[in-house]
Amino acid sequence: MTVLGLHHVGFTVPDMDEAVAFFTEMFGAVTIMECGAVDVDDDFMRTRLGVPQGCRISDQRVLQVGRGGSLEVFEYTGVNDPRPIKHNGEVGAMHIAFEVDDAFEVAGRLKANGVDVLEGPTLIKGGPMDQLVWMYLRAPWGQYLEIVSSNGPLGYEADGGPKLWTPSVGH
């Protein structure tokens, strides 16, 4: 078996149009596919997607943001118990990180557009992530996102071992 790489990250949003507008306006996303509603029965939804009876995909789209894997975005109907987004300390919590050319500049633009930005950006000095600049933010629906940039090779790269794939380097 050969794993070729990360294909996409899929996640659910409460309002597809709001999500697409956010990713398009803040990160330059391009809509690659608009799949619309998925017309299948409860058994299909339960056995293939693990969702309870009555849940349906009302909209599905695939977005491309720069280079790298795609974002597969879903909006569901029939969810009777909507739960809040997990914070980063909870099992199953996740975030999506976007590499940008200048995290400080992008942070300023996000803040100017009213995006819920957590403290930062932060430049890491020392250790394996030396020279990484990072900052967390929240999408309008509460999902955690991150922007990262670097001021040169990261600290771990000094030992000559395997390198992280990044959109800026492409390997």
The pLDDT tens digits of the residues spanning 44-61 come to 989 999 988 899 999 999
Residue 16 and residue 78 in one domain: yes
Reported pTM: 0.90
C-beta of residue 33 within 8 angstroms of C-beta of residue 120: no
Tokens of 163: 């390198």
Same-domain status, 69 and 97: no
Residue scoring higher pLDDT (170 or 141): 141
Beta bridge partners of 146: 97, 136
CA distances from 126 to 30, 89, 147, 148, 165 (A): 36, 24, 19, 16, 21
Give the residue numbers spanning the domain of 37. 1-83
Domain contains 146: yes
Task: Give the C-alpha separation, 96 to 29, whole Å.
Answer: 14
**Whether residue 90 is found in the same domain as residue 72:** no
Domain final position from 64, 83, 102: 83
State the CATH number of the domain containing residue 129. Answer: 3.10.180.10
Residue-averaged pLDDT of the chain: 92
- In the chain, the number of structural domains is 2
